Structure 1
Amino acid sequence: MTELPKTFDPAEIESRWYSHWEEKGLFAPERPGADPWTLVNPPPNVTGSLHIGHALDNTLQDVLVRHARLKGKDARWVVGTDHAGIATQMVVERQLNAKQQKRTDFTREEFVAKVWEWKEESGGEITQQLRRLGCSMDWANERFTMDEGFSKAVLKVFVELYNTRKPDGSSLIYRDKRLVNWDPGLGTAISDLEVETVEVKGNFWHLRYPLEDNSGFIQVATTRPETMLADMAVAVHPGDERYAALVGRQVRLPITGRLIPIIPDEHADPELGSGAVKITPGHDFNDFEVGRRAGIEARDMLNMLDAKARITQTSDGLIPEELLGLDRFEARKLVVERLKAEGFLVPYVDKEGAEHDSEPRTIQTPYGDRSNVVIEPWLTDQWYVDAATLAKPAIEAVRSGATRIVPKSWEKTYFNWMENIQPWCVSRQLWWGHRIPAWFGPAKRGAGLSYFEADAPFEIFVGETWEDIQGQAAETYGCDPTMIVEEGSFQEAAESNDSRDLHADRIFLWRDTDVLDTWFSSALWPFATMGWPDEIPSPLRGEGGRGEVGRGAEAPAAGTAPLPTHSPEGRGLLGGRYPNDVLISGFDILFFWDARMMMQGLHFMKEVPFKTLYLHGLVRAADGQKMSKSKGNVVNPLGLIDRYGADALRFFMAAMESQGRDIKMDERRIEGYRNFATKLWNAARFAQSNGIGASTTPHAPAADLAVNRWIIAETIATVQALDLALADLRFDEAANTIYQFTWSRFCDWYLELIKPVLQFDVDVDKAEPTANAIETRQVAGWVLDQILIMLHPFMPFITEELWSKMGARKRELIVADWPVTDAQALDPEAAREIDWLIRLVSEIRAARTELNVPPAARLPLYVRDQSSETGDRLVRQRQVIARLARVDFGQEETFEGGALQVVVEEATFVLPLGGVVDLEAERTRLSKAIAAAEKERDGLAGRLGNPSFVERAKPEAVEKARADHAEKAAEAERLAAALARLG
């Protein structure tokens, strides 16, 4: 046993123990024959830093993996980082800009090399921060989504999806022209997750579109008047009688003079505005669908913007010259000016009768979360995954229970999205990422000669290697593979192929310049991290060489071989690591990541990727608002760790995580859990000072004393409740279970109840400890050990430190054995006696406090109407009651005056107060306090009974009023009981 310092210092303990665990490989101990248990960490961006959401997510995961490890399972927590295409490329480009350089100053290969250099030098800061949180991840097998092995999996998935044909002959991956969220600042398509919708003060412009014969006009409204340059129709509702005669006629657009039809479509709402809607299918998602329903092919939809959101000429050449090349917002001003000058702008009349060019409105405007540029729906050629086909098995997997979603309430959202899923755009216009393994070549026309034409459809070839591509192209063009040559770009290939006889000369192909969306690669995380698709996986980090789609790094250290794809013991897919046992993620990536893992896992592994999907909420500011940098309410978890320690922050996260609810940040609670750690520390110091040390057995010691039989039973009941709560993923219930047992049952009561036994522990005749003292020390040491083990998943650092200091151990706590639960150790008789004892002492203490009895005063105690059972208990617990309640047992009631009375079960316990308390003054004080509490109670009740207050006040104000009412009602009741006790 090593004496504990008086002061608990989290910082010193945390750094020392984490290094020890990692250096000894204790996060993934060798456990041959043990049941595999696997959890994969949502890979954070390699550019990222730990935020409060990460702290929640990773705490919950660590609780589960540490629990599984203690249960003896072969538990692995797979860790890695995502290459974060957009974010990482932005970081490196900013560094170049600081040196007066830009990306295009370099070749693609040179720029990618610079990204790798940045990654080696600066990337992955978040992995160090996860260590500070105490995450017991399998760092020896850390993954990166651009690792050579992982890149191989990405290539295989893309190629196989492209080569998988549906009954209609289409592929599961295909190239199509559709609208995407286009970020003009970054010059790439982005996902919905990367779009932030912001309320901005904008305008509504009302426009007149004249009928072709100038017999009238139709009025429309828009927040983006510049898009009228690419309008292709005006839609009215089929049932809107106002426009029935106009359907099928044409209007002539102002400025461009383009003739466009008036079409019927239910997208037009007769109740909104004029009921007529301008349709710009190339620049609005709703309009795109309207255009397709009207029979307009995507290739024929007009595009009026370039990649930088500048006005470009449409295919019909009708946009005036002076608008070309203007930024969209500059063009907006000029378009409005021309519409007004030509009489096509309808003025807005305000309440005072004044006219304005536009109507002020608050507009929901999409911004790129990284570029902070307004996002533009843009018509472009991209690669898409047929998500609707892949979603069907994923829907059935949840319906059948193969994967359960917790909380179950999220199932409805999951089904609704999956059943209405849209094609998934997986291409991005970046240089950093998994480059799409597709090459293009000149169109092949029948059996005759083929010529390159820039506007003709291209032949597409998809393969994992250049040799695959050469073979496919040679077969298509009917030539020898050596004739197939790769050019560096479309422009170079165009020049080389121009007007050449493809049978007489070489055929030049060019590779797609796009890379894959990072969600595409991270969707493979549950199985690609395990070495798939190799039967004997290559090392988890590459073995040298830097390729276009992946780059090697150092091989794993000795003893950290990759997980096998197939277990020789027949443990199942990927060595029993697939399906993963559970996935924990925020609800906000249910569709972007979780659902896509379901789709890819079922398609390639023919099995769900995880058995359980747990979706946690958001961590919000103390006032319930969403955290954001703009609001200045973001909380840095590393700062909280500096102030209170990682254990306190982790316990807060677990204790506040209630299924289906967001967490409100409350630093006072974190401070409270730091105090909880200190209380445990002091309890261990008390144990050491009283000769209580490490237990030598995992089983409960034999016990005769009721207090020891009681605490053993309480311990076992706590283990059972904790296991059940964790099995149900009720983190708050699990944390509260161990908290209440440790603080209340063990520290507050058991250690107090055994002090008399330890105080009088020497048998005077034999000059050695009594049997009761020996038994109590053994039981107390065993219970403290069980607490450390149960608390370890939540508070790993302090528990490991105390475990090491309480006595000699065979191994560290992180790889100890979970407590053994023996139902035979449950002792109802002992439980009844100690619960009775606790109630009695608590009632006397509370009554003394309410009646202002001085803490040091010892009161005589008389007992009335006691049963024989109570009498026996009083004999056994006499010393404890006298010490804890500060009473002296009397024989006969000989007192006069008022007395404090407490009733516990059938007996009445009387404590005379004469000479200790001024009874009349106390009655007066209590009466006034009761009246004040009742007045406040009734006032709050009146406010809560007022419908106007309940309906109009802020929810937090109503909630506070209810809490205050309950508090005052309880206070009045408690004080009235105290007054009644005076007799």
Structure 2
Amino acid sequence: MSNTNLTQSIQNALSQLENAYSPANIEQGMYQNWEEQGYFKPTFDQPQSFSIALPPPNVTGSLHMGHGFNNTIMDTLTRYHRMSGFNTLWQPGTDHAGIATQMVVERRLNKQGIKRKDLSREDFIDKIWEWKEESGGNITSQIRRLGSSVDWSRERFTMDDGLSNTVKEVFVRLHEDGLIYRGKRLVNWDPALLTAISDLEVENKDVKGKMWHFHYPLADGKSTKDGKNYIVVATTRPETVLGDTGVAVNPKDERYQDLIGSFVELPIVGRRIPIVGDDHADMEKGTGCVKITPAHDFNDYEVGKRHELPMINILTEDAFIRESAEVFDSKGNASDVYSAELPASYQGVERFKARKQLVAEMDELGLLEKIEDNDMTVPYGDRGGVVIEPMLTDQWYVAVDKLAKPAIDAVENGDIEFVPAQYKNMYMAWMNDLQDWCISRQLWWGHRIPAWYDDEGNIYVARDEAEARSKHGLSDDVTLRQDDDVLDTWFSSGLWTFSTLGWSDNTDDPRIMPTFHPTSVLVTGFDIIFFWVARMIMLTMHFIKNEDGTPQVPFKTVYVHGLVRDGSGQKMSKSKGNVLDPIDLIDGIDLESLVTKRTSNMMNPKDAAKIEKQTRKEFADGIPAFGTDALRFTFTSLASTGRDINFDLKRVEGYRNFCNKIWNASRFVLMNCVDKEENALPVAESANPEQWGLPEKWIISRLNSTIASIHKHMNQYRLDMVSQDIYEFIWNEYCDWYVELAKATLNDDAVSDERKAQIRYVLLHVLETALRFTHPIMPYLTEQLWQTIAPLLNRKDVDSLVVANFPTADDGLISEQTEHDMTWLQDMIAGVRNIRGEMKLGNAVQLPVLLQGMSDEETARLQRVENQFKALAKIESLTLVADGEEVPLSSSSMVGQLRVLVPMKGLIDPTAELNRLAKAQEKLQKQAEGISRKLGNEGFVSKAPAQVVEAEKAKLAELEGQLSVMEKQVEELKSL
């Protein structure tokens, strides 16, 4: 590049970099340009491929810290692999989130005075689609704000036609394979939402409850061994007495062994129910007698199946006592073994009112023995907000036994790896104790179950009604109605990795599926390993096959990250008022807006007041704008695999300062490439190591060592270590040391123009390379700077850093000797700076320095770096002193055996220096005594490796030498 062109390029570069780093100015419009240029779209021109399926966030949602954390992890991995020459696809999409979305729309309609039941199903679903079009893009726009480089041209929604067709296809095939069936079983039932819900949608709360102890009279004149004509059972849910069909005692319990096979008379109802022997009854707990209500308790349900006890459903869908109970045998078939009639006084009574009523009646009958306080855990629906009822209902199930084995084998044989490895154990524990999966929900929004019923209740499963008729030879005269239920959201999301890649969609690019499936890694939290990860593995391996016909896994690695907690380690929740919004950290938010945001949806005024007070105390000045890059770097710096992270705003502030450091360093480097008239100074076009001094050789060695370390840590998913590598190199090594050393040399008139041109080349080369390896974590800042730096080195062979090459390490440029030499220079400079600080001498004071005890090797080193040493340590004169030669009274510092001395005359207060030396002597004396005790320990000397013992002896000798020198200094000071 000609000098004129170079001058123009540098001037242009400087004009693009404002004096102060402003993330808002940098980020504005940059993402849109990346997206419009198609940089995030996959290519098919490389032998290796890398793909991630974005865990689909709820379309109802907004970004929370967990999204910010896992999106940063995924984007860092994706950008790294894209720059490393992989065909790369990050597949985005959103989930229809059945319950959450239906609730949002119902609440909106309720505000308009409209109830869901006032509308037809079709009209209600139309309302949901209207709402989705209106606000469903909120989460995706926020994901864009995070800089996530997903291929938006391939965005999918779980209710899209293509995905819906996949869902129907999978359901029908599983049914044809005998792996989907309809049955009557116990489920988590939400009486507010009137639907079954998954365990993940149940929030267990610790509460102060009661334990009621009731007498159950023995039938047929039986009595206990101590002569009582009743047994005592305890319950936390008295209303379920109406549905009891047995009492369990432990078969080893000598108190009740004789009663097994006999009966009790169930109070109030008057039903004879058997006493059964079952290990579920704990001999050490309570009375050892447990009432069994198979239709309203999960444990009792299993006991009932083991002993073929009938099941009596006493509750309506909204948790009121029925007029007539539903009675079934242990297999779920209708039964008349017991009367269905329930006591008239309880019919139509709400469950908790029925509880009070039953306790009162038992007391009146003399059957209430006592009431105890009881700390207990009660299940609540996380969205309905009411106590969940175990309820006996007809639902659709997936039989998981056949699906589970390949999914277990895939993890056992290493086809799927968990990172960190301990989550493999959690996965295996779940997989080895699987229950059939309830996949139906009593909602209107979702994938409607592809099953039709005739008037006799016969079921026809098919892709549509026409297929149901043709498949089963049904004429148009036969009336069919489709099942009203929809599928559990986890069913459609369990197909995510292949449904999004066009498995049942002929319109998709045929190269997509074979190139990017199985996906490379799934990034997720530990809490959904069973609900999502395991089900994806089972369903994918059943439907997707390799070329040899073996089952194909959905992903090769499962990267499990922890939860994002607040700075005190507390889980973030709206009720605690400690939630942070990633967008607020990026853009900033004033105090009043933050208070409103945290309290506006709180129903309890006392809680709102408490959170307002807490917020005003913690964020008195609001939250400043940190920018996306600082937030992302904070997330990666905390990303120790599998561990929860405590999020502290001071960290974000620190990494905002890091961004500013990179910005200022870039401006500084550019300004050192022009003279006072802003004409370009020579920049070498290529590296010439013959012109390099120790600083250049050192920074190039450290650059390549850092690159190698980043590659290693990326492949280990240790993004925290990647961040540490980057921070340490850019801030501590490049900015704090090399830039300062280079500046000293560039300002030295004795240095040749050729060498200065090489130094400018190295400054720019190292900076440009560092921007490339930092880009996956800090995409915005690095892109802005790279666009200005790369042209000066003729490296802008692509239009964006997004698609530039990730650096590779050159092992030939890594020199341990060079790095040792530079460490010596740094120690020398640090030694002078320590003396300056201890003597309280300002940085402007030029110091005379004496060096005593220099080896030949150190003398040669000094010749190479003398100018840098003098410039950075602010040295006026440098004098070498032979061993044993008298030196004036000086303050000193030791670098190995070398003494760095600054004569005190005219510079310091002798009394203050004596105090400093006394403290230094005390510190060294303690170190020496510690090593002496260790060497005096026969056990240590005999067991420790010889080289360790010798190293300790050498260290002791060095300390004793330093103490001897200090003692001499003390005597000289005292003589003044």
TM-score by length of 2: 0.84
- Say what the alpha-carbon RMSD is for the aligned residues: 2.6
**Aligned partners of 1:864 and 1:909 also within 8 Å:** yes
The correspondence for 1:269, drawn from 275, 282, 307, is: 282
Give deviations 1:106-145, integer Å, cap 9, x for gaps: 1111111111111111113111111111111111110000
Q: Give the aligned residue type for 1:528.
A: S
The alpha-carbon deviation at position 842 of structure 1 amounts to 1.9
**Compared CA separation, residues 222 and 980, structure 1 to 2 (3 A):** farther
Give 1:210's aligned residue: 217
**Compared CA separation, residues 886 and 760, structure 1 to 2 (3 A):** closer
1:248 aligns with 2:255: no
CA distance in 2, matches of 1:512, 1:931: 85
Q: Give the aligned residue type for 1:670.
A: V
**Compared CA separation, residues 697 and 295, structure 1 to 2 (3 A):** farther
CA distance in 2, matches of 1:930, 1:361: 64
1:519 aligns with 2:490: yes
**Aligned partners of 1:393 and 1:599 also within 8 Å:** yes
5 Å-filtered alignment, 1:456-475, equals 458-474=457-473
Secondary structure of 1:38's match? strand
1:803 aligns with 2:786: yes
Give deviations 1:144-176, integer Å, cap 9, x for gaps: 000000111111111111101xxxxxx111111
5 Å-filtered alignment, 1:149-228, equals 149-164=162-177, 171-213=178-220, 215=222, 216-228=229-241
5 Å-filtered alignment, 1:529-928, equals 529-534=500-505, 537-538=506-507, 562-564=508-510, 566=511, 574-605=513-544, 606-642=551-587, 643-691=625-673, 704-760=692-748, 770-808=753-791, 809-810=796-797, 811-887=799-875, 888-890=877-879, 898-924=889-915
Give deviations 1:637-670, integer Å, cap 9, x for gaps: 1111122111111111100111231100111011
CA distance in 2, matches of 1:820, 1:978: 48
Larger displacement relative to structure 2 (694-703 or 900-909): 694-703
CA distance in 1, matches of 2:881, 2:276: 102
CA distance in 2, matches of 1:402, 1:580: 12
Q: Give the aligned residue type for 1:98.
A: K
1:233 aligns with 2:267: no
The alpha-carbon deviation at position 797 of structure 1 amounts to 0.7
5 Å-filtered alignment, 1:120-131, equals 120-131=133-144
Q: Percent identity?
A: 46
CA distance in 2, matches of 1:839, 1:926: 20
Moved over 6 A (4+): 692-702, 893-896, 928-935, 975-981
Secondary structure of 2:314's match? coil
Larger displacement relative to structure 2 (591-600 or 882-891): 882-891
**Aligned partners of 1:11 and 1:645 also within 8 Å:** yes
CA distance in 2, matches of 1:439, 1:891: 98
CA distance in 2, matches of 1:863, 1:384: 83
Give 1:319's aligned residue: 342
CA distance in 1, matches of 2:189, 2:965: 71
**Aligned partners of 2:891 and 2:913 also within 8 Å:** no
CA distance in 1, matches of 2:688, 2:206: 62
**Aligned partners of 2:924 and 2:963 also within 8 Å:** no
CA distance in 2, matches of 1:976, 1:374: 74
Q: Give the aligned residue type for 2:904.
A: L
The alpha-carbon deviation at position 977 of structure 1 amounts to 12
The alpha-carbon deviation at position 630 of structure 1 amounts to 1.4
**Aligned partners of 2:418 and 2:560 also within 8 Å:** yes
Larger displacement relative to structure 2 (358-367 or 520-529): 358-367
**Aligned partners of 1:36 and 1:75 also within 8 Å:** yes
**Aligned partners of 1:896 and 1:914 also within 8 Å:** no
Q: Give the aligned residue type for 2:767.
A: L
The alpha-carbon deviation at position 708 of structure 1 amounts to 1.2
Larger displacement relative to structure 2 (902-911 or 424-433): 902-911
Give deviations 1:908-954, integer Å, cap 9, x for gaps: 2222223212132233367579999999xxxxxxxxxxxxxxxxxxx
CA distance in 2, matches of 1:409, 1:727: 18
The alpha-carbon deviation at position 201 of structure 1 amounts to 1.6
Give deviations 1:765-807, integer Å, cap 9, x for gaps: xxxx711111111111111011101111111111011111225
The alpha-carbon deviation at position 869 of structure 1 amounts to 1.7
CA distance in 2, matches of 1:55, 1:617: 13
**Aligned partners of 1:761 and 1:773 also within 8 Å:** no
The correspondence for 1:334, drawn from 357, 360, 364, is: 357
Give 2:621's aligned residue: none
Q: Tell me the number of residue pairs that the alignment of Structure 1 and Structure 2 aligns.
A: 848
The alpha-carbon deviation at position 35 of structure 1 amounts to 2.7
CA distance in 2, matches of 1:587, 1:700: 51
Gaps of 5+ in 2: 1-9, 223-228, 327-338, 545-550, 588-624, 675-679, 927-959, 971-976
Q: Give the aligned residue type for 1:517.
A: D
CA distance in 1, matches of 2:854, 2:276: 92
**Aligned partners of 1:51 and 1:637 also within 8 Å:** yes
**Compared CA separation, residues 731 and 508, structure 1 to 2 (3 A):** same
The alpha-carbon deviation at position 691 of structure 1 amounts to 1.1
Give 1:141's aligned residue: 154
Secondary structure of 1:182's match? strand
The alpha-carbon deviation at position 982 of structure 1 amounts to 5.6
Give 2:145's aligned residue: 132
Q: Give the aligned residue type for 1:191.
A: S
The alpha-carbon deviation at position 461 of structure 1 amounts to 1.1
**Aligned partners of 2:194 and 2:442 also within 8 Å:** yes
Q: Give the aligned residue type for 1:641.
A: I
Give deviations 1:440-466, integer Å, cap 9, x for gaps: 235xxxxxxxxx4xxxxx322111122
The alpha-carbon deviation at position 976 of structure 1 amounts to 10
TM-score by length of 1: 0.83
5 Å-filtered alignment, 1:9-48, equals 9-28=22-41, 30=43, 32-33=45-46, 35-48=48-61
**Compared CA separation, residues 726 and 777, structure 1 to 2 (3 A):** same
The alpha-carbon deviation at position 89 of structure 1 amounts to 0.5
CA distance in 1, matches of 2:61, 2:662: 35
**Aligned partners of 2:63 and 2:582 also within 8 Å:** yes
Larger displacement relative to structure 2 (782-791 or 636-645): 636-645
Q: Give the aligned residue type for 2:490.
A: W
CA distance in 1, matches of 2:772, 2:636: 16
CA distance in 1, matches of 2:684, 2:641: 38
**Aligned partners of 2:281 and 2:288 also within 8 Å:** yes
Secondary structure of 2:28's match? helix
CA distance in 1, matches of 2:88, 2:683: 26
**Aligned partners of 2:188 and 2:390 also within 8 Å:** yes
CA distance in 1, matches of 2:143, 2:967: 57
CA distance in 1, matches of 2:749, 2:915: 47
CA distance in 2, matches of 1:846, 1:61: 44
Larger displacement relative to structure 2 (233-242 or 199-208): 199-208
The alpha-carbon deviation at position 757 of structure 1 amounts to 2.0
CA distance in 1, matches of 2:273, 2:533: 43
The alpha-carbon deviation at position 857 of structure 1 amounts to 2.6
Larger displacement relative to structure 2 (911-920 or 278-287): 911-920
**Compared CA separation, residues 727 and 19, structure 1 to 2 (3 A):** same
Larger displacement relative to structure 2 (908-917 or 304-313): 908-917
Give deviations 1:210-256, integer Å, cap 9, x for gaps: 11236511101111100000001000001001001111111111111
CA distance in 2, matches of 1:746, 1:173: 62
